[in-house]
Amino acid sequence: MAKYNQTTLTRIELEESLVQHCNPVELNKIMSAYELSESVHEGQIRGDGSAYFYHCTRVCKILLHEIRIVDVDVLAAALLHDVIEDSPTLSISVLEYNFGRYVAYLVETLTKDLERREVEPEDVDKEHIELLKQSSSDCLLIKLAARLDNFRCLEFNLKSNPHQYIQETEELYIPLAENSDIPHLTYLVLELKKERNKFLG
C-alpha cells in the first residue's frame, strides 16, 4: 500500500466520482482543470520527494470524498489553487476565460505573492489572512483542505520546520473557521487538530 504522500486522485477516479452529479459541460470543466494543473506542476517535487501535482489532487479528494462536495467550481479551484504561484506565464484572466469568474476568483484569493513574501513574509501572510476573512467561505475551505493534506504529509519530512508550520496553522488559519456554523469547515478544523495531535504525540 502506498504511503499517504505518494497517493493521488486519478483522472478516472475523479470522473467516476462526478459523472452522476455533473452534466457533460461541468465534467469537461473539472477534467480540464485536472489536466491544466497536471501540466503546470509537471516535474515539480515537494519537500517530501513526492510529485507536487499529487498534493493538488489530494486537496480535491479531501473535498470530494471526505466532505462530499460536488460543486465543480470549488473542485476545479482546489486542483488549480497553486497554478498561478507555480507558473510564470499563467494569468487570472486566462483562468477566467477557461473556467469562469468564480474559479478565477477562488484561485486569485488563494494566491500569494511569493517574491514579495521572501522579503516581507509577515506582511504577506497577514494580508492573506485578512483577504480570507472577507472572501467566500469556499476560499477558506480549499485553504484548510490544503493545510490538512500538508499536515498528513509532515511525517514524511515535507516541511523543514514542521512545528512552526503547525503553529502557524493554529494561530493564523484555524481561528478563521473554529467557530464557524458551516459543517464542512468544522470537519476540517477537527481533522487538522487530529493530525496535529498525531504528529506531536
Residue 121 has pLDDT above 90, yes or no: no
- Binned at pLDDT 50, 70 and 90, residue 136 comes out as very high
Q: What is the reported pLDDT for 82?
A: 97
- Binned at pLDDT 50, 70 and 90, residue 20 comes out as very high
Whole-angstrom distance, CA of residue 25 vs CA of residue 47: 36
Give me the active site residues, please: 85-86
Cβ-based neighbours of 50, under 8 Å, separated by 6 or more: 5, 6, 153, 156
Place of cell 476540517: 188
Q: What is the reported pLDDT for 118?
A: 86
The pTM score is 0.96
Q: What is the reported pLDDT for 27?
A: 97
Residue 48 has pLDDT above 90, yes or no: yes
Q: What is the reported pLDDT for 201?
A: 83
| Residue 54 φ then ψ, to 5° | -60, -40
Q: What is the reported pLDDT for 1?
A: 87
Give the tens place of pLDDT for each residue, 62-96: 999 999 999 999 999 999 999 999 999 999 999 99
Q: What is the dihedral of CA 22, 136, 148, 124, to 10 degrees?
A: 140
